[in-house]
Amino acid sequence: MMQNVTLASSNAGKIREFEGLLTPLGWRVTGQDQLGIVGAEEPHRTFLENALSKARHVARVAGTAALADDSGLCVSALQGAPGVDSAHFSGPERDDQRNNMALLQALAGQDRREAYYYCVLVWLNHADDPTPWVAEGRWYGEIGQCCVGNGGFGYDPLFRPKGLDKTAAQLTMVEKNRMSHRALAWQQLVARIQG
């Protein structure tokens, strides 16, 4: 029998990724928008605080288990930016293309292009769960000179994972779910969910 978990996200790309990861484990994933839940504020300056805030909010409103992630791109030459501001790097609206262009502009003339995607996952069995499960993952690579590929979302067309000769936007969903920051965090969390 499928169990319900509400994902504290309105991002269609993230919802697809988590459906691919959770459905085989017997969990039905519902995005917060599908339940009419307005996302929680994300005022914090750390990924962990934002993820925990989102998970508690969704668990309380939905009355189900909740899964939240906070993730973003951290670029060495930019002292970790865009970081927690990854979704809004180019301004208040969420626009992947504009964010990618803003990142390229911020790195203009930079030789150092090392970066990593970071993800923290928080799982709550209920809104007042005093022992949330927390996992994290980092996916190392570098920022390319131009956007390449049509898959993925966010900065994937610019992010070239370490050891690969293509961008994250050129990976299949199966490949990405095996090596991404979210997949690495997921590997830590899955044993707890199965237990």
- In angstroms, the CA 3 to CA 27 distance is 5
Residues contacting 114, CB < 8 A, separation 6+: 75, 76, 77, 140, 141, 142
Q: Which among 25, 47, 51 has a CA at the least distance from the CA of 187? A: 25
- Please name the residue that has the structure tokens 């288990």: 65
Tell me, yes or no, if 70 is annotated catalytic.
yes
Catalytic residue among 70, 85, 95, 129: 70
**Within its chain, how far is the Cα of 188 from the centroid?**
15
Where in the sequence numbering do the catalytic residues fall?
70
